[in-house]
Amino acid sequence: MMSDRVPPGVSAAVPNVARMYDYYLGGKDNFASDREAAEKVLSIIPEIRGDARNSRAFLQRAVRHLRQEGVDQYLDIGSGLPTAGHVHEVIEGAKVVYVDNDSVVLTHSRALLGHSPDVTVQEGDLRRPEAVVERAAQVLDFSRPVALLVVSLLHFVTDEEDPVGIVHRYRDLLPAGSHLVLTHVAPDTMPSKADDVSAVYRNATSPFTARRRSVFEALMEGFDLLEPGIVNTREWRPDRDTDPSPIQGDYHLCAVGRKPA
Ligand SMILES: C[S@@+](CC[C@H](N)C(=O)[O-])C[C@H]1O[C@@H](n2cnc3c(N)ncnc32)[C@H](O)[C@@H]1O
């Protein structure tokens, strides 16, 4: 996509949240409108690149930890463009289902990941839990624990769409012993800037809503939190061996929880 040649059926005119995120992470799968909007966000929060990297580093530590604990099935919703360090690249011997609702993400993911027998790419919308789980169950065994990843995604779900209700629905559909790996941008950590960032995303494919810690706590209700609980991404079990050198920008709250028996 470096040539900005637009594949059929794809709108390059509207800034796209997946491709803006790819731009923050240094990827090449983005168009001029994505870069322009992403640059506006960068002018408000230059550390957004670091924030994206720190969130992805958390995701990687979380799945490595869960893999060590024996979890061998992963459902990654809003998986994004496979810029670097996707779940199946950092763990081995596990089945991974990537779900996204963006046609560019799906095309790229299928092209890059489709040949691995343990990796499946599915179209799906986080806001339709039953449909997502039903489709994923064609590949994953929902009579055994599954790790559900909802990373850097829920702030693209509006209040009217009831993000807490959506996450609780997944919780109810998951078997006991399953895990939820969650991050969410919190205005508590960027109080004066969240509204300016929301204004840029109003013209993008999804609006952006930062949410306070109290909402994050509600999202994790019904899960037993793994140590260290709800923290900013850099504080969740940092690992000097695998983490990138410390980067400024950490606006996501994160947690890993386990559904009890
Ligand atoms: C900021 S990216 C995060 C990517 C990845 N999870 C990560 O943490 O690096 C958000 C992703 O969620 C996808 N997305 C947005 N709304 C969605 C929805 N309702 N259902 C499924 N995917 C969605 C976007 O297409 C994009 O790929």
Query: What residue ranges define each of the domains in the chain, with the CATH number in brackets?
Result: 17-258 (3.40.50.150)
Q: 241: which 2 tokens?
A: 């061996």
Per-residue pLDDT tens over the stretch 101-150: 998 899 888 888 767 889 999 999 999 999 999 999 999 999 999 999 99
57 pLDDT band, cuts 50/70/90, is: very high
**Is the predicted pLDDT of residue 8 greater than 70, yes or no?**
no
127 CB near ligand 1 (under 6 Å): yes
Strand partners, 258: 179, 224
243 pLDDT band, cuts 50/70/90, is: confident
**Which of 49, 55, 100 is the best mutation target for the ligand 1 pocket, counting ligand atoms within 8 Å of the beta carbon and taking the most?**
100
Closest residue by CA, ligand 1 atom 16: 156
List of residues 6+ apart from 95 with CB closer than 8 A: 72, 73, 74, 118, 119, 120, 139, 140
Share of the chain above pLDDT 90, in %: 72
**Which of 14, 25, 75, 101 is the best mutation target for the ligand 1 pocket, counting ligand atoms within 8 Å of the beta carbon and taking the most?**
101
Q: Give the CA distances from residue 65 to residues 7, 58, 227, 248, in Å, rounded to whole numbers and listed in that order.
A: 38, 10, 12, 24
Distance CA(134)–CA(215), nearest Å, equals 27
21 CB near ligand 1 (under 6 Å): yes
**Is the predicted pLDDT of residue 6 greater than 90, yes or no?**
no
Distance CA(8)–CA(22), nearest Å, equals 20
Q: 53: which 2 tokens?
A: 């990297």
CA of 201 to the centre of ligand 1 (A): 14
Higher local confidence (pLDDT), 29 or 231 = 231
101 CB near ligand 1 (under 6 Å): yes
Closest residue by CA, ligand 1 atom 27: 80
What is the predicted pLDDT for the residue at 2?
46
122 CB near ligand 1 (under 6 Å): no
Q: What are phi and psi of 206, to 5 degrees?
A: -135, 140
83 CB near ligand 1 (under 6 Å): no
Rounded to a whole number, what is the largest CA-CA distance in the chain? Answer: 52
What is the predicted pLDDT for the residue at 29?
86
CA of 78 to the centre of ligand 1 (A): 3
- Number of alpha carbons in the 13 Å side-chain half-sphere of residue 58: 30
